[in-house]
Protein backbone atom coordinates (compact mmCIF):
# COMPACT_ATOMS: atom_id res chain seq x y z
CA UNK A 1 0.00 0.00 0.00
CA UNK A 2 1.53 3.26 -1.10
CA UNK A 3 1.05 6.59 0.61
CA UNK A 4 0.39 9.81 -1.17
CA UNK A 5 3.49 12.04 -0.62
CA UNK A 6 1.45 15.16 -1.19
CA UNK A 7 -0.44 14.71 2.08
CA UNK A 8 2.48 15.93 4.20
CA UNK A 9 2.75 19.09 2.09
CA UNK A 10 -0.94 19.89 2.15
CA UNK A 11 -1.06 21.66 5.61
CA UNK A 12 1.99 23.78 4.73
CA UNK A 13 0.48 24.76 1.42
CA UNK A 14 -2.80 25.58 3.11
CA UNK A 15 -1.02 27.82 5.65
CA UNK A 16 0.83 29.66 2.90
CA UNK A 17 -2.38 30.10 0.98
CA UNK A 18 -4.11 31.53 4.03
CA UNK A 19 -1.20 33.87 4.68
CA UNK A 20 -1.42 35.12 1.10
CA UNK A 21 -5.16 35.67 1.36
CA UNK A 22 -4.95 37.74 4.56
CA UNK A 23 -5.36 41.51 4.07
CA UNK A 24 -2.17 43.52 4.66
CA UNK A 25 -3.53 45.44 7.63
CA UNK A 26 -4.37 42.26 9.56
CA UNK A 27 -0.74 41.64 10.56
CA UNK A 28 -0.39 45.19 11.84
CA UNK A 29 -3.63 44.98 13.78
CA UNK A 30 -2.82 41.58 15.25
CA UNK A 31 0.65 42.69 16.31
CA UNK A 32 -0.65 45.89 17.91
CA UNK A 33 -3.43 44.09 19.80
CA UNK A 34 -1.14 41.31 21.03
CA UNK A 35 1.59 43.77 22.03
CA UNK A 36 -0.93 45.96 23.87
CA UNK A 37 -2.28 43.00 25.82
CA UNK A 38 1.19 41.82 26.81
CA UNK A 39 2.31 45.34 27.74
CA UNK A 40 -0.78 45.99 29.84
CA UNK A 41 -0.38 42.67 31.62
CA UNK A 42 3.26 43.43 32.37
CA UNK A 43 2.38 46.83 33.81
CA UNK A 44 -0.36 45.33 35.97
CA UNK A 45 1.81 42.51 37.34
CA UNK A 46 5.02 44.50 37.89
CA UNK A 47 5.50 45.96 41.37
CA UNK A 48 5.26 49.79 41.27
CA UNK A 49 8.27 51.82 42.34
CA UNK A 50 8.39 55.20 44.06
CA UNK A 51 11.05 57.92 43.87
CA UNK A 52 11.78 60.54 46.53
CA UNK A 53 14.26 63.41 46.10
CA UNK A 54 16.05 65.64 48.61
CA UNK A 55 18.21 68.67 47.85
CA UNK A 56 21.36 70.10 49.43
CA UNK A 57 23.05 73.35 48.48
CA UNK A 58 26.68 74.45 48.73
CA UNK A 59 27.12 77.85 50.38
CA UNK A 60 30.45 79.70 50.24
CA UNK A 61 31.91 81.11 53.44
CA UNK A 62 33.54 84.51 53.82
CA UNK A 63 36.83 83.07 52.55
CA UNK A 64 35.32 81.67 49.34
CA UNK A 65 33.24 82.78 46.37
CA UNK A 66 30.16 81.43 44.52
CA UNK A 67 32.31 79.92 41.76
CA UNK A 68 34.10 77.72 44.28
CA UNK A 69 30.77 76.65 45.77
CA UNK A 70 29.55 75.63 42.32
CA UNK A 71 32.66 73.55 41.74
CA UNK A 72 32.39 71.80 45.10
CA UNK A 73 28.71 71.06 44.47
CA UNK A 74 29.73 69.15 41.35
CA UNK A 75 32.28 67.22 43.37
CA UNK A 76 29.83 66.44 46.18
CA UNK A 77 27.39 65.09 43.60
CA UNK A 78 29.98 62.47 42.63
CA UNK A 79 31.00 61.71 46.21
CA UNK A 80 27.44 61.15 47.43
CA UNK A 81 27.27 57.58 46.11
CA UNK A 82 30.71 56.55 47.38
CA UNK A 83 31.20 53.99 50.12
CA UNK A 84 32.33 56.56 52.71
CA UNK A 85 29.01 58.41 52.51
CA UNK A 86 26.77 55.39 52.02
CA UNK A 87 28.39 53.65 54.99
CA UNK A 88 27.08 56.38 57.29
CA UNK A 89 23.74 56.67 55.48
CA UNK A 90 22.87 53.02 55.98
CA UNK A 91 22.59 53.59 59.73
CA UNK A 92 19.86 56.21 59.31
CA UNK A 93 18.16 54.53 56.35
CA UNK A 94 18.11 51.07 57.92
CA UNK A 95 19.14 49.30 54.70
CA UNK A 96 22.44 47.75 53.55
CA UNK A 97 25.02 49.69 51.58
CA UNK A 98 24.30 47.55 48.52
CA UNK A 99 20.67 48.66 48.52
CA UNK A 100 21.68 52.31 48.71
CA UNK A 101 24.19 51.87 45.91
CA UNK A 102 21.58 50.46 43.53
CA UNK A 103 18.70 52.71 44.62
CA UNK A 104 20.26 56.16 45.05
CA UNK A 105 21.16 58.54 42.22
CA UNK A 106 22.50 62.10 42.35
CA UNK A 107 22.34 64.99 39.91
CA UNK A 108 23.93 68.43 39.80
CA UNK A 109 23.29 71.62 37.87
CA UNK A 110 25.93 73.53 35.89
CA UNK A 111 24.27 76.81 36.89
CA UNK A 112 23.42 76.34 40.59
CA UNK A 113 25.48 74.90 43.48
CA UNK A 114 22.82 72.34 44.29
CA UNK A 115 22.83 68.55 44.53
CA UNK A 116 19.71 66.43 44.22
CA UNK A 117 19.66 63.00 45.85
CA UNK A 118 16.97 60.64 44.55
CA UNK A 119 16.12 57.21 45.94
CA UNK A 120 13.84 54.60 44.40
CA UNK A 121 12.03 51.82 46.23
CA UNK A 122 8.85 49.74 46.13
CA UNK A 123 7.96 51.41 49.47
CA UNK A 124 7.34 55.16 49.33
CA UNK A 125 8.40 55.73 52.93
CA UNK A 126 11.67 53.87 52.42
CA UNK A 127 12.44 55.90 49.31
CA UNK A 128 12.14 59.12 51.34
CA UNK A 129 14.21 57.69 54.21
CA UNK A 130 17.05 56.66 51.90
CA UNK A 131 17.17 60.02 50.12
CA UNK A 132 17.23 61.93 53.41
CA UNK A 133 19.82 59.58 54.92
CA UNK A 134 22.25 60.04 52.03
CA UNK A 135 21.75 63.82 52.08
CA UNK A 136 22.43 63.88 55.80
CA UNK A 137 25.58 61.77 55.47
CA UNK A 138 26.82 63.87 52.55
CA UNK A 139 26.26 67.11 54.48
CA UNK A 140 28.16 65.72 57.44
CA UNK A 141 31.18 64.68 55.35
CA UNK A 142 31.25 67.98 53.48
CA UNK A 143 31.10 70.09 56.64
CA UNK A 144 33.90 68.06 58.22
CA UNK A 145 36.15 69.47 55.49
CA UNK A 146 34.71 73.01 55.64
CA UNK A 147 37.91 74.44 57.13
CA UNK A 148 39.80 73.39 53.99
CA UNK A 149 37.14 73.90 51.31
CA UNK A 150 35.60 77.08 52.73
CA UNK A 151 32.25 75.78 51.48
CA UNK A 152 29.38 74.71 53.69
CA UNK A 153 26.79 72.17 52.59
CA UNK A 154 23.28 72.85 53.85
CA UNK A 155 20.02 71.00 53.44
CA UNK A 156 17.76 72.82 51.01
CA UNK A 157 14.70 70.52 50.98
CA UNK A 158 13.94 67.20 52.63
CA UNK A 159 12.52 64.30 50.68
CA UNK A 160 8.85 63.65 51.33
CA UNK A 161 6.92 60.43 51.00
CA UNK A 162 5.77 60.18 47.36
CA UNK A 163 2.08 59.69 46.74
CA UNK A 164 2.32 58.45 43.15
CA UNK A 165 4.46 55.75 41.62
CA UNK A 166 7.30 56.80 39.35
CA UNK A 167 7.14 53.58 37.33
CA UNK A 168 5.05 53.36 34.17
CA UNK A 169 1.36 52.66 34.61
CA UNK A 170 -0.37 49.70 32.87
CA UNK A 171 -1.89 52.06 30.32
CA UNK A 172 1.56 53.39 29.38
CA UNK A 173 3.08 49.92 29.11
CA UNK A 174 0.08 48.87 27.00
CA UNK A 175 0.71 51.73 24.58
CA UNK A 176 4.40 50.85 24.39
CA UNK A 177 3.54 47.20 23.81
CA UNK A 178 1.05 48.11 21.10
CA UNK A 179 3.65 50.21 19.33
CA UNK A 180 6.22 47.43 19.50
CA UNK A 181 3.67 44.86 18.35
CA UNK A 182 2.66 47.05 15.42
CA UNK A 183 6.31 47.41 14.44
CA UNK A 184 6.80 43.65 14.51
CA UNK A 185 3.62 43.24 12.48
CA UNK A 186 5.01 45.64 9.89
CA UNK A 187 8.24 43.66 9.69
CA UNK A 188 6.24 40.46 9.28
CA UNK A 189 4.30 42.17 6.52
CA UNK A 190 7.52 42.81 4.62
CA UNK A 191 8.52 39.15 4.67
CA UNK A 192 4.97 37.88 4.12
CA UNK A 193 4.47 35.67 1.04
CA UNK A 194 3.04 37.86 -1.68
CA UNK A 195 0.01 36.98 -3.73
CA UNK A 196 0.90 36.14 -7.35
CA UNK A 197 -1.37 37.76 -9.93
CA UNK A 198 0.26 36.59 -13.17
CA UNK A 199 -0.69 33.05 -14.09
CA UNK A 200 1.64 31.03 -16.26
CA UNK A 201 0.38 30.70 -19.78
CA UNK A 202 0.98 27.43 -21.67
CA UNK A 203 3.36 27.69 -24.59
CA UNK A 204 1.61 27.85 -27.93
CA UNK A 205 2.34 24.96 -30.29
CA UNK A 206 2.19 25.70 -34.03
CA UNK A 207 -0.40 23.75 -35.94
CA UNK A 208 0.86 21.18 -38.47
CA UNK A 209 1.31 22.50 -41.99
CA UNK A 210 -1.12 21.25 -44.63
CA UNK A 211 -0.02 19.58 -47.82
CA UNK A 212 -1.08 22.60 -49.90
CA UNK A 213 1.17 24.88 -47.92
CA UNK A 214 4.07 22.47 -48.32
CA UNK A 215 3.64 22.38 -52.11
CA UNK A 216 3.51 26.15 -52.21
CA UNK A 217 6.81 26.44 -50.44
CA UNK A 218 8.57 23.94 -52.75
pTM above 0.75, yes or no: no
Q: Which residues contact 165 (CB under 8 A, 6 or more apart)?
A: 48, 49, 50
Q: What is the pLDDT of residues 91-100, one digit of tens each?
A: 999 999 999 9
CA quadruple 104, 108, 112, 116: dihedral, nearest 10: -10
- Which parts of the chain fold into alpha helices (H)? 10-21, 24-45, 66-79, 83-93, 97-103, 124-144, 146-149, 170-190, 211-217
Q: What is the pLDDT of residues 129-180, one digit of tens each?
A: 999 999 999 999 999 888 888 899 999 999 999 888 765 556 666 677 667 7
Whole-angstrom distance, CA of residue 114 vs CA of residue 102: 22
Do 85 and 137 touch, CB atoms closer than 8 A? yes
Residue 114's pLDDT band (boundaries 50, 70, 90)? very high
Whole-angstrom distance, CA of residue 87 vs CA of residue 153: 19
Amino acid sequence: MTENPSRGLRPNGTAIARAKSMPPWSLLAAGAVLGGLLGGAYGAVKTPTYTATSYVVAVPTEKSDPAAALGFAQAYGRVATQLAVLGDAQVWAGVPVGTLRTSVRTATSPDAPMVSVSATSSRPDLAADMANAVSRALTRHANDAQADTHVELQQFARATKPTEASSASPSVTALVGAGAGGLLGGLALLVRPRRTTDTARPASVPSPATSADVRGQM
